[in-house]
Structure 1
Amino acid sequence: MYLAFSDGFGTALGKGAGAIAAYTALGLVLLIIGFLAVDLATPGRLTTIIRTNRNANATLLAVCGVSAVGLVVAASIFASGGKLLEGLIATLVWGLVGIVAQLVASVIVRYLLGVDVAGLMAKEKLEPSAILLGATQATVGLITAIAVI
């Protein structure tokens, strides 16, 4: 049995795999930056609050923040057609804009509602204000993702 590949198949496959690796690496960097941004905006060390204290409020805020960044990164990759370098730059810029937008929205909601985040991190049970802040992060991520597209 003879398998024939079209001309340039190997080159296209290699370039495609390289692009996937580059976008994945950039996406992971943006997710880490997004997590660190949520960590900076949260009183105390977020990883300690989650791992050691097993705090549901902190976990919810981290999950929503990272998921929202993931939405923005995915939309940025989807909308970044064209050359690889241009797409990576666009994804980086849009991802960072999404992270900043989430932080700003979260701070505004905290201020408007008078949410004491430090107090929230000390509570053992899941609080309604944590759900609201998490939903705010997720919604801002969705809005930013759609704006990118």
Structure 2
Amino acid sequence: MSPTPAPALTSVPSVPDVTVSLAETLGRGALAIVSYAALGVILLIIGFYVIDLVIPGKLSRLIKEERNPNATLLTGSGLAAVGLIVAASIWSSGGALHEGLLATFVFGLVGIAVQTVAMVAFDKVAGISVRDLVTEPELQPGSRLLAVTHLAIGLITAVAVI
């Protein structure tokens, strides 16, 4: 076998030296953080109100006044799942702020929709009624199962985004 010849070296045109100031870099980074944080909060609020639509009764009252552990666990796991999706969207944006914000918004809404469908499916397929769960004053096994399902859906959606 004869050796393969090495590729010929070609000249590379010189790239102008572009210097970005520290202030500009920090400003862009701070803008990205504020933008993603604001969008994340908006998606969490949307997620909260979607859960509120699916669960009977006023969700904030169930959690704040009645201290219902089932409503609290289901809401907390749903919002944690949205947080996973938002974090994965930010991670996958590759520094492109506008595209990353749009992708985060769309993927966040998709994640919220999928979780809502999962809650309704539990009512229909598994026979675990979310409506019944949140009327119980004690933490129920069905709430734990649905909470884990929320997190699993959030993780699956997050990995799909990456």
TM-score by length of 2: 0.85
Aligned equivalents of 1:106, 1:116: Cα separation in 2 = 9
Q: Give the Å deviation of 1:9.
A: 1.2
Q: Give the Å deviation of 1:118.
A: 2.4
Q: Which of 82, 87, 90 matches 1:77?
A: 90
Matched, 1:49 2:62: yes
Which ranges in structure 1 are unaligned for 5 or more consecutive residues?
1-5
The within-5 A match list for 1:38-117 is: 38-117=51-130
Q: Give the aligned CA root-mean-square deviation in angstroms.
A: 1.2
Q: Which of 137, 145, 162 matches 1:132?
A: 145
Aligned equivalents of 2:149, 2:71: Cα separation in 1 = 14
Q: Which of 5, 11, 23 matches 2:24?
A: 11
Change (3 A) 1:9 1:113: same
Q: Which residue of 2 aligns with 1:27?
A: 40
Assess if the C-alpha contact under 8 Å between 1:110 and 1:133 holds in 2.
no
SS of structure 2 residue aligned to 1:122: coil
For 1:57, the aligned partner's letter is N
Q: Give the Å deviation of 1:79.
A: 0.5
In terms of fraction of residues, the more helix-rich structure is 1
SS of structure 1 residue aligned to 2:66: coil
Q: How many residues align?
A: 144
Assess if the C-alpha contact under 8 Å between 1:110 and 1:116 holds in 2.
yes
The superposition leaves residues 49-104 of structure 1 with CA deviations (integer Å, 9 ceiling, x where unpaired) of 11111110000001100000000000011001142111111111111111111111
Aligned equivalents of 1:32, 1:111: Cα separation in 2 = 26
After TM superposition, where is structure 1 displaced by more than 6 Å over at least 4 residues in a row? none
Q: Which residue of 2 aligns with 1:121?
A: 134
TM-score by length of 1: 0.92
Q: Percent identity?
A: 51
Q: Give the Å deviation of 1:117.
A: 2.3
Which ranges in structure 2 are unaligned for 5 or more consecutive residues?
1-18
